[in-house]
């Protein structure tokens, strides 16, 4: 096994790494660090949890250390683009940790907070800018920063940036950086749009892949519980009340759903916090802080928290609702079993989610172990309930839902169908296109259209 000292990193960086207690580089670090120190462009296919942040941050710091010149005003030597504010904060924390024995200046440029302190930080020039694309583009337009002297560009979690609709912005941003730059692209998966981005903006990149996203980490004990939609919340309380649950993330499909589940848990006496794209930056930071320091043991989140968030000691991940995109399942459950620990991932699956479950099992190549009732048993109960309700509706002289009446679809347990359409745009309960208010909010949303869904 390789040692950090063999990779060609400078002494102050090696000292910081050993101060963190790392003895050996992770597989991605062992391959990526020498390639980046050699000046190559690079595509890294890796999920969070593999040590990918240090894999690009350590060589980047090495370059900054070797370059004695000060950054020019309003410029940066290295730019790291990330999809979310949380990941920006996490990356900046890593840079501070690994760069603590050297002088590297950095600025975090994200939406949801006042731009003026960022403008001031950028004015004198910094070594490293960590940015979400929307806010960076604002600063570029206003002339608060320019990228004509940037030598290194990193795109972290590129596929999540694609999901959030950032690719056009990224293309514009990369287009503003001199072509002589070194470009690093990290992504958990390689959809064709990311391939195209790499082809257009990377120069003969080395390609390094570790643990593809379709293979959930083996240390995770995965299972599924078939449950009627209306019974999910009570089942959640019972799952989370188990003494083995130290710290849990519960994933919902919608922001509204996250708030509802959070309220239900609070009522049941389980301290929880909600994290999603409708929360202000302050609320999001508070929720993460309370979860990190153990003040609340449950975080209820949309997929915004499925990537990048590195919190140790998450013993359980509950998929309260299955994600529309099977890859998201892999990202979600990857929040547990980090740093070699084991973890438990429990999926709740109601009758409307069977196809989503099949998609997940196809992607991962694994059948989830069933805990509790088999779907057939439940089906009977659902149909009975559906028939009963239809009879009640008929008695009341109302027009019941046809699907419920013939017992084919819909649990009839107050289940909310997804308010997100397949194109990622939020829809009203009846599937109607969003009207004025959402459109207006969109303007203030750093992540644009798709962010409304998370
Ligand atoms: P990342 O994939 O960048 O989110 O990193 C996942 C976790 O692994 C972080 O908590 C890092 O502190 C930790 N880590 C990174 N590199 C190493 C290493 N070489 N040895 C042990 N832990 C590491």
Q: How many CB atoms lie within 10 A of CB 119?
A: 18
Q: Are residues 224 and 369 in the same domain?
A: yes
Does residue 348 have a pLDDT over 60?
A: yes
Provide the pLDDT for residue 100: 96
Does residue 305 have a pLDDT over 70?
A: no
> pLDDT tens digits, residue range 193-233?
999 999 999 999 999 988 644 455 667 899 999 999 999 99
Is 18 inside a domain boundary? yes
Average pLDDT over residues 316-327: 92
Higher pLDDT, 96 or 409: 96
Higher pLDDT, 72 or 419: 72
Domain boundary among 328, 357, 377: 377
pLDDT classification of 414: cutoffs 50, 70, 90 = very low
CA 61, 62, 65, 68: dihedral to nearest 10 degrees? -110
Q: Are residues 269 and 325 in the same domain?
A: yes
50 CA → ligand 1 middle, Å: 6
Q: What end-to-end distance do the CA atoms of the chain give, in Å?
A: 40
Element housing 168 (H / E) = helix 167-175
Q: Residue with the nearest Cα to atom 17 of ligand 1?
A: 51
User: Three-state SS for 341?
Assistant: coil
Q: Select from 344, 271, 259 the least CA-distant residue to 302.
A: 259
CATH of the domain at 245: 3.40.50.300
Q: Indicate if ligand 1 lies below 6 Å from the C-beta of 47.
A: no
Q: Residue with the nearest Cα to atom 18 of ligand 1?
A: 22
Is 421 inside a domain boundary? no
Number of domains into which the chain is organized: 2
Rounded Cα distance between 445 and 135, Å, is 10
Q: Select from 233, 251, 253, 341 the least CA-distant residue to 299.
A: 251
> pLDDT tens digits, residue range 21-59?
888 898 899 999 999 999 999 999 987 778 899 999 999
Q: Are residues 59 and 152 in the same domain?
A: yes
Q: Residue with the nearest Cα to atom 6 of ligand 1?
A: 49
> pLDDT tens digits, residue range 62-101?
999 999 899 999 999 999 999 999 899 999 999 999 999 9
Q: Residue with the nearest Cα to atom 13 of ligand 1?
A: 51
pLDDT classification of 380: cutoffs 50, 70, 90 = low
> pLDDT tens digits, residue range 102-156?
999 999 999 989 999 999 999 999 999 999 999 999 999 999 999 999 999 999 9
355 by Cβ neighbours in 10 Å (0-12 / 13-18 / 19+) ranks as: exposed
Does residue 376 have a pLDDT over 50?
A: yes
User: Three-state SS for 75?
Assistant: coil
The two structure tokens encoding residue 180: 């002589």
Does residue 446 have a pLDDT over 80?
A: no
DSSP assignment of 94-115 equals: HHHHHTTTS---EEEE-SSS-S
pLDDT classification of 424: cutoffs 50, 70, 90 = very low
Q: Indicate if ligand 1 lies below 6 Å from the C-beta of 60.
A: no
Rounded Cα distance between 163 and 232, Å, is 28
Which backbone phi and psi does 46 adopt, to 5 degrees?
A: -155, 145
Provide the pLDDT for residue 427: 32
Which backbone phi and psi does 225 adopt, to 5 degrees?
A: -120, 120
| Mean pLDDT computed over every residue of the chain | 82
Q: Indicate if ligand 1 lies below 6 Å from the C-beta of 308.
A: no
CA 121-150-78 angle, to 5 degrees, is 65
Q: Indicate if ligand 1 lies below 6 Å from the C-beta of 48.
A: yes
Q: Are residues 237 and 153 in the same domain?
A: no
Provide the pLDDT for residue 280: 80
Q: Are residues 84 and 194 in the same domain?
A: yes
Half-sphere exposure in the Cβ direction for 415 (13 Å, CA): 25
Rounded Cα distance between 218 and 230, Å, is 31
Is 433 inside a domain boundary? no
Q: Are residues 55 and 147 in the same domain?
A: yes
What percentage of the chain exceeds 70 in pLDDT?
Answer: 79
Q: Indicate if ligand 1 lies below 6 Å from the C-beta of 438.
A: no
Q: Kindly report the length of the chain.
A: 454
Is 400 inside a domain boundary? no
Q: Indicate if ligand 1 lies below 6 Å from the C-beta of 40.
A: no
**Range in 173-187, 268-282, 382-396, 402-416 the model is least confident about:** 402-416
Q: Are residues 224 and 202 in the same domain?
A: no
- Among 26, 80, 187, 292, residue to substitute to test ligand 1 (most atoms within 8 Å of Cβ): 26
Rounded Cα distance between 311 and 38, Å, is 32
Q: Residue with the nearest Cα to atom 20 of ligand 1?
A: 22
Q: How many CB atoms lie within 10 A of CB 43?
A: 22
Question: 234 is in which domain, residue-wise?
Answer: 220-377
**Range in 250-254, 285-289, 395-399 the model is least confident about:** 395-399
51 CA → ligand 1 middle, Å: 4
Average pLDDT over residues 339-366: 88
Does residue 402 have a pLDDT over 80?
A: no
Q: Are residues 237 and 344 in the same domain?
A: yes
Average pLDDT over residues 311-333: 89
Q: Select from 10, 57, 53, 2 the least CA-distant residue to 31.
A: 2
Domain boundary among 354, 377, 400: 377
């Amino acid at each position: 096994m390789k040692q950090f000292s063999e990779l060609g990193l400078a002494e102050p960086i090696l000292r910081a790494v050993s101060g963190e207690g790392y003895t050996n580089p992770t597989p991605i670090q062992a391959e990526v660090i020498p390639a980046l120190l050699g000046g190559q462009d690079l595509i890294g296919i890796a999920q969070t949890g593999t040590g990918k942040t240090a894999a690009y941050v350590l060589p980047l710091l090495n370059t900054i250390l070797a370059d004695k010149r000060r950054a020019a005003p309003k410029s940066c030597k290295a730019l790291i683009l990330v999809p979310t504010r949380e990941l920006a904060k996490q990356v900046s924390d890593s840079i501070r940790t690994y760069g603590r024995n050297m002088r590297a200046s950095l600025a975090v440029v994200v939406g949801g907070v006042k731009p003026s302190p960022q403008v001031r930080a950028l004015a004198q020039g910094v070594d490293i800018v960590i940015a979400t694309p929307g806010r960076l583009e604002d600063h570029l337009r206003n002339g608060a920063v320019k990228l004509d002297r940037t030598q290194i560009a990193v795109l972290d979690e590129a596929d999540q940036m694609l999901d959030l609709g950032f690719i056009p912005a990224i293309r514009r941003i990369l287009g503003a950086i001199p072509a002589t730059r070194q470009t690093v692209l990290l992504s958990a998966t390689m959809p064709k749009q990311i391939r195209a981005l790499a082809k257009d903006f990377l120069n003969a990149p080395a390609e390094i892949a570790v643990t593809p996203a379709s293979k959930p980490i083996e240390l995770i004990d995965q299972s599924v519980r078939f449950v009627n939609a209306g019974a999910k919340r009570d089942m959640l309380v019972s799952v989370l009340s188990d003494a083995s649950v130290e710290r849990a993330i519960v994933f919902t499909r919608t922001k509204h759903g996250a708030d509802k589940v959070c309220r239900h848990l609070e009522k049941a006496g389980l301290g929880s916090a909600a994290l999603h794209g409708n929360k202000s930056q302050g609320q999001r930071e508070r929720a993460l802080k309370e979860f990190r320091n153990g003040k609340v043991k449950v975080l209820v989140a949309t997929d915004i928290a499925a990537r990048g968030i590195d919190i140790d000691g998450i013993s359980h991940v509950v998929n309260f609702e299955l994600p529309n995109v099977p890859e998201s399942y892999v990202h979600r459950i990857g929040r547990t079993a980090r740093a070699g620990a084991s973890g438990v991932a429990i999926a709740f699956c109601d009758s409307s989610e069977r196809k989503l479950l099949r998609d997940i099992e196809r992607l991962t190549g694994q059948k989830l172990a069933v805990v509790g009732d088999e779907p057939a048993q439940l089906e009977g109960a659902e149909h009975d309930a559906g028939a009963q309700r239809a009879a009640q509706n008929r008695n009341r002289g109302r027009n019941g839902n046809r699907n419920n009446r013939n017992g084919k679809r819909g649990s009839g347990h107050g289940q909310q169908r997804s308010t997100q359409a397949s194109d990622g745009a939020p829809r009203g309960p009846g599937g109607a296109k969003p009207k004025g208010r959402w459109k207006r909010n969109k303007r203030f949303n750093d992540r644009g259209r798709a962010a409304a869904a998370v």
